[in-house]
Amino acid sequence: MLLIVFTFIAFTLEEEHWWNYPGFELWKFINLAVFIGFMIFLLKRRTGEAFRTRRENIKRDLARAREERDAALAKLKEVEDRLSRLDTEVAAIREQQVQEAAEERERIAKSTETEVAKLSEQATREIESAGKVAKHELRRFAAEQSVRMAEQIIRREMKPEDDQRLITQNIEELGGAA
């Protein structure tokens, strides 16, 4: 670009009449070109560093975003693996529950059988005990009835002479014993 500007300046120096033409004045264009060139130089220098820093920040942010994305994908894969294993774990837990329920039913059945056996033995013992008590009561009742009936028979059949004879006999036995 500078080559074009210098060529233009050299060409304008040969012909003097249009370079100083009112309103066109070539020196304004040269001044503008130098100013634009200087501004481009300054902006490139200052903005180049800012753009380079910005580019590095963007690269760093992109790298960090990739790392976070990779970490999130790894976490997602882990969660998906856990979810896929969840069905098998649920099935295993259900199977374990069924097995534990069966074992509990067996334990309860055995416990019930032993309780029934204990209650049966206890009932048998209570029945036997009640039978013994009933037999004892029956014997006592029978003895009382026998004594009562014997007493009635004796009262009905005994005469005053029999009574006198028994008393005398008892006194003799007591006297003979003394």
- First and final CA of the chain: distance in angstroms? 174
Helix, strand, coil fractions of the chain, as percent rounded to 5 = 90, 0, 10
Contact of 46 with 60, CB cutoff 8 Å: no
The pLDDT assigned to 42 comes to: 82
Q: What is the pLDDT of residues 100-121, one digit of tens each?
A: 999 999 999 999 999 999 999 9
Directed axis angle between helix 26-157 and helix 2-14, to 10°?
160
Buried/exposed code over 43-65 (b: 16+ C-beta within 10 A; e: otherwise): eeeeeeeeeeeeeeeeeeeeeee
The pLDDT assigned to 73 comes to: 93
Q: What is the C-alpha to C-alpha distance for residues 157 and 153, in angstroms, rounded to an integer?
A: 6
Please report, for the chain, the start and end positions of each structural domain, with discontinuous segments joined by +.
2-156
Q: Residue 23, by phi and psi: left (phi above 0), alpha (psi -120 to 50) or beta?
A: left
Q: What is the pLDDT of residues 121-135, one digit of tens each?
A: 998 988 889 888 889
The pLDDT assigned to 22 comes to: 61
Low-confidence stretches of the chain (pLDDT < 70) are: 1-26, 176-178
